[in-house]
Amino acid sequence: MKKNVNNWLVATAVTALLSAPGISQANAEVEALAKDAKNWATWGGDYAGTRYSTLTEINKDTAKNLQPVWTFSTGALRGHEGGPLVVNGLIYIHTGYPHKIYALDQATQTVVWEYQYVPDSGTDPTQVIGVMCCDVVNRGLAYGDGKIFMAQGDATLIALDAKTGKLVWKVKNGDTKKGETNTNAPLVVKDKVITGISGGEFGVRGFLAAYNIKDGSLAWKAYSTGPDAEMKVDPEKTTTWTDGKVAPVGKDSSLKTWQGDQWKIGGGTTWGWYSYDPKLNLVYYGSGNPSTWNPVQRPGDNKWSMTIWARDADTGAAKWVYQMTPHDEWDYDGVNEMTLIDQDAKGIDGKVHTKLLTHLDRNGLGYTLDRETGELLVAQKFDKAVNWVDHVDMKTGRPIVNAKYSTQAGGEDKAQGAGPDGKPGTADDDLVCPSSMGAKNQPPVAYSPKTKLIYIPGNHTCMTYEPFHLEYTAGQPYVGATLNIFPAGHDVKTGEKNSSTDRGSFTAWDPATGTIAWNISEPFSLWGGMVATAGDVVIYGTLEGYLKVRDANTGAELYRFKTPSGIIGNVSTWAYNGKQYVGVLSGLGGWVGIGEVNDLLGEDPCVAVDPCTRIESSLMKHTPLGGVFTVFALPSAK
């Protein structure tokens, strides 16, 4: 009876929200689902992208008793990024391109429905795979209005009936012949579904688009570079942080920072994650690297690539922007997630701000901003091995670049970081840190309001970086750099040189002060998203295939289990019939495993847009390929 009462209460709450005047049904439904810990209704667990659950059954005292309770094979090889959605008792999981989507019944662990990708007439899956950078991964699904949404690798956005799996509508979001693809997880906001575009390594001009969830018609589209109107930037109303204050960006803020028409092939793609503040009605996301990777070919700040954006969800109008890495010289793609938190942090004037946005960037800097105004509050290294930047000037907001590690200063056809002999991998190397993989790549962080810490799945690698001249050809790789990646060999917390060959770091970071609370070294890069819970635990996966549980206060390991393949997927947690579960997709791949994936499949490990580096060359000793969904729980009471 208690179960029925709880279900009735949830249903009543949803009904009340749906009937509230002025609130879109899809928005209210997703908000209500996210507030009920039985569900995992968005990529981040909630609109704020905190990846925090209020469930407590699995906690720092009971985690040692976890066990796998059932598994499901996806039937797909290659990389499995993203994670499961759990909505109203059904589990939804997905694979990379060419895609499959499964709706799973938790009671019987059986398939309710299966979607299998079928290419449109004129679409060649082989061509699509050829222009997908860094494996054929997909970062997940979205739910809203009784539909499941996926941004497919062939740059089509689909809506499926969540109960039956039948196609409701499909819309073209990009042109793969130009190198435009999709790998991101969409986000349903009000009566729209938000998606971006991939292809920065092909000179694709980035944008964010909103489609009406009823029929797939385009509501608005806003570019990362170019004329003000096409970016939905108002010269007088859109602001940025400069000279110690928030000020209008001014006319032609992007065009002035590019040479000629380079902005048309300027990158700034949007393949990461999107967050939303319902009270402010703002969508937050990051734009990626400018094209090409050779900085010598594109003078200027290359705005607004490498930028945190805040846009009005209804119109797409940009409220504020903040560029993290002007004139990127290292491929420090700025697409990592924006985590929206409410706690105190001081600005440079001593004023306390409470509505915060935190962002752990690939460039190795952790940022905290006022998410309403865009005021910069914190910009500090979360890995002290980082050396391309000395610090961020908090008045201007600009990084102070260390010329020793500037690939622009080094010039074309010189391997910056390779040392006097110019040969990567020799004893005199003075590597650029972090590598292009970033001090953290796309796997999302978790935030605990109990500890007030951000938990970071980190990379701990450095590189040599050699730019070279490259002409643009539509649909062909537009990279223009060769790099070699190595373990950082420095302590994450102090920056002191050591002899460690570890390439990963689990780091707890204070977003109010920008300080590292503690960190745990991992042998391989961490490439899976984390979850924090009210049970004072953090749960994540590793490239060797372990699901691990750590104490959220100390980092002490509480549990580990070896899943069938390397984990580059995001952990989710939910409840069913009063019991807490944890689920994760395993399946080696992504940029971090692309060489091994191609090698094991009998393909060329040096793909066109990969810098031909065996980033994790010993992974094959630890894990094979293969997509498996594994569900964990505590033993049932006897």
Cβ count near 171 (within 10 Å): 18
d(CA 512, CA 230): 35
Q: At what angle do helices 2-19 and 25-35 cross, to 10 degrees?
A: 150
CA-nearest of 446, 532, 573 to 34 is: 573
Cα-based distances in Å from 369 to 317, 348, 458, 485: 19, 11, 21, 31
E strand spans, 371-452: 376-381, 389-392, 399-401, 446-448
* Helices (runs of H) and strands (runs of E) counted in the chain: 6, 39
d(CA 620, CA 342): 42
Side chain identity, residue 122: G
d(CA 188, CA 440): 26
DSSP-based three-state secondary structure for 262: helix
Q: Would you list the DSSP string of 294-348?
A: -GGGS-S--TTSSEEEEEETTT--EEEEEESSTT-SS--------EEEEEEEE-T
CA 362 to the chain's CA centroid:
10
Identified catalytic residue from 331, 429, 491, 536? 331
Burial of 38 (0-12, 13-18, 19+ CB in 10 A): buried
Cα-based distances in Å from 568 to 283, 540, 607: 26, 10, 20
d(CA 573, CA 55): 8
Active site residue 331: yes
Order of strands across the sheet that contains 187-189: 187-189, 192-195, 207-212, 218-223
Q: Would you list the DSSP string of 20-71?
A: STT--HHHHHHHHHHHSTT-B-STTSSTT---EE---SS-TTTGGG-EEEEE
Rounded to a whole number of angstroms, the distance between the first and last alpha carbons of the chain is 21
CA-nearest of 410, 511, 420, 421 to 465 is: 410
For the annotated catalytic residues, the residue numbers are 331
